[in-house]
């Protein structure tokens, strides 16, 4: 079973992956959810950035959605 660690900066570590959910503000006051997926070290380091389509009324909701997507990403990764 994977060990999940959450740090105060909203960073989530699962196995060898580090996820950083973010809320990106829009001009109209709503927020996009963004997820950064980081793995590896040095020249073998890979970073992926995902920005999700739905807009949210609060930064907290956008962060929660991005964190949820981290779990979904890991499910897909484990099926591969």
Of 15, 17, 55, 16, the residue nearest 34 (C-alpha): 55
Strand-strand pairing, 31-39 and 17-25: antiparallel
Burial label, 21 (beta-carbon count in 10 A; 0-12, 13-18, 19+): buried
- Determine what percent of the chain falls in helix, strand and coil, rounding each to the nearest 5: 30, 45, 25
Ordered mean pLDDT values, 10 residues apiece, the chain (80 residues): 48 87 94 92 88 94 94 75
Predicted local confidence at residue 58, as pLDDT: 95
Predicted local confidence at residue 79, as pLDDT: 56
Domain spans in the chain, listed from the N-terminal domain onward: 4-79
Residue 27 contacts by C-beta under 8 Å, 6 or more apart in sequence?
Answer: none
Predicted local confidence at residue 5, as pLDDT: 43
Predicted local confidence at residue 8, as pLDDT: 42
Predicted local confidence at residue 15, as pLDDT: 81
Q: How many residues does the chain have?
A: 80
């Amino acid at each position: 079973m994977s060990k999940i660690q959450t740090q105060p900066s909203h960073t989530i570590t699962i196995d060898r992956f580090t996820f950083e959910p973010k809320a990106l503000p829009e001009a109209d006051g709503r927020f996009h959810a963004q997820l950064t997926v980081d793995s590896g070290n040095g020249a073998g380091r890979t970073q992926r950035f995902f920005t999700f389509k739905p807009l949210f009324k609060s930064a907290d909701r956008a962060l929660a959605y991005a964190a949820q997507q981290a779990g979904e990403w890991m499910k897909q990764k484990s099926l591969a």
